[in-house]
């Protein structure tokens, strides 16, 4: 079973849902995945794309993953009875920031399922002022920590 969850929005450290994780992780590391990121106001939405999306890789003991995923599915509006999914839980490859060997880790991630609503959000990209970051992230202030990473 996958032991990692990649998060890019409100579940990251310092964000409004940081305290909703049901169990403590073994480790949290900065990581990135390929995608396209939209700012929907109070939270971001990631869909398929080729940008490098910066986030966090939360690692858990295999025995904890079921509890973690059940809780996150509720938070993200995924796999809930009689509800339309807002996000889909998918597996993807996450690369650790600064990892010279280019190894990627298989992780769960929540991607936006309502692409018809993306027109209400702004697609985030690397602005000329932040070109050194090499990443797209939400909120944008977090990217400034990784200039040159």
| The predicted structure's pLDDT at residue 148 | 45
The mean pLDDT values, 10 residues at a time, for the chain of 149 residues are 89 94 96 93 91 95 96 94 93 87 88 82 69 73 50
Q: Kindly report the pTM of this predicted structure.
A: 0.87
| The predicted structure's pLDDT at residue 147 | 44
DSSP element (H, E) containing 18: none
Query: Based on the structure, what is the number of domains in the chain?
Result: 1
Question: What's the CATH number where 29 sits?
Answer: 3.10.490.10
Residue 48: partners with Cβ closer than 8 Å, 6 or more residues away: 35, 36, 111
| The predicted structure's pLDDT at residue 128 | 52
| The predicted structure's pLDDT at residue 149 | 43
| The predicted structure's pLDDT at residue 134 | 81
Host domain of residue 113? 4-146
User: Strands, E, within the chain: which ranges?
Assistant: 4-7, 27-39, 44-59, 87-96, 104-112, 122-124
DSSP element (H, E) containing 72: helix 65-76
| The predicted structure's pLDDT at residue 117 | 72
CA gap 135, 114 in Å, rounded: 24
């Amino acid at each position: 079973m996958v032991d990692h969850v990649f998060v890019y929005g409100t579940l990251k450290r310092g964000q409004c849902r940081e305290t909703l994780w049901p169990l403590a992780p073994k480790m949290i590391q900065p990581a990135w995945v390929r995608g396209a990121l939209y700012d929907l106001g109070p939270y971001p939405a990631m869909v398929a794309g080729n940008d490098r999306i910066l986030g966090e890789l939360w690692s858990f003991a295999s025995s904890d993953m079921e509890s973690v995923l059940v809780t996150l599915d509720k938070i993200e509006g995924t796999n809930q009875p009689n509800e339309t999914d807002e996000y889909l839980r998918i597996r993807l490859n996450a690369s650790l920031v600064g990892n010279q060997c280019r190894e990627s880790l298989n992780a769960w991630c929540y991607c936006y399922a309502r692409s018809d609503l993306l027109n209400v959000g702004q697609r985030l990209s690397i602005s000329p002022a932040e070109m050194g970051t090499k990443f797209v992230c939400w909120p944008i202030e977090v990217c400034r920590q990784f200039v040159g990473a």
